[in-house]
Amino acid sequence: MRFGEEVWKKIPHHSYWLTIKRYSMWMIGFVLLSTSATAIYQHLKPDEYVCTTELLPPDIDLLPVLKIQPGQAVDLERFITYLESEELYRELRDTFNLISYYELHDISDEKERYLALLSKIERNFVFKITKNGTISISVYDKNPLMSYEILNFLIRRIHNKVIEYSYVQKNYSELTYQMVQISIVLDSLLKRIETLRSSYKIVGYPDLSGGAQLPYQVMLQNPRSFEALDEIIALESQIRRYINLREDFRKQLIDIEGFFRVYRTYRWLLYQPQIPIAPARPKRLRWIISAFLASTASSLFLILYLHKIGLIHPRDYKEDAENPEVVSSFATPA
Q: What is the pLDDT of residues 277-288, one digit of tens each?
A: 888 777 778 888
Name which residue leads in pLDDT, 71 or 88.
88
The answer to whether the CB of 175 falls within 8 A of the CB of 249 is yes
Whether 252 shows a pLDDT value over 90: the answer reads no
Whether 59 shows a pLDDT value over 70: the answer reads no
Q: Where does the pLDDT of residue 153 fall: very low under 50, low under 70, confident under 90, or very high at 90 and above?
A: very high
Whether 88 shows a pLDDT value over 70: the answer reads yes
The answer to whether the CB of 182 falls within 8 A of the CB of 246 is yes
What is the structure's pLDDT at 179? 86
Interval 316-331 mean pLDDT: 51
What is the structure's pLDDT at 58? 66
The answer to whether the CB of 225 falls within 8 A of the CB of 199 is no
- What are the tens digits of pLDDT across the range 112-143? 888 888 889 988 999 988 888 888 999 999 99
What is the structure's pLDDT at 272? 83
Which one of 29-43, 49-63, 155-169 scores highest in mean pLDDT?
A: 29-43
What is the structure's pLDDT at 1? 45
Whether 212 shows a pLDDT value over 70: the answer reads no
Q: What is the CATH number of domain 170-264?
A: 1.10.287
Name which residue leads in pLDDT, 112 or 319.
112
What is the structure's pLDDT at 330? 46
What is the structure's pLDDT at 83? 87
Share of the chain above pLDDT 70, in %: 70
Whether 234 shows a pLDDT value over 60: the answer reads yes
The answer to whether the CB of 132 falls within 8 A of the CB of 56 is no
Q: Where does the pLDDT of residue 146 fall: very low under 50, low under 70, confident under 90, or very high at 90 and above?
A: very high
Residues with Cβ < 8 Å from 330, sequence gap 6 or more? 6, 7, 10
The answer to whether the CB of 254 falls within 8 A of the CB of 224 is no
d(CA 189, CA 316): 115
What is the structure's pLDDT at 162? 72
Interval 205-234 mean pLDDT: 61
d(CA 202, CA 213): 10
Name the residue ranges covered by the structural domains of the chain.
3-45+283-320, 49-165, 170-264
DSSP 234: H
The answer to whether the CB of 228 falls within 8 A of the CB of 202 is yes
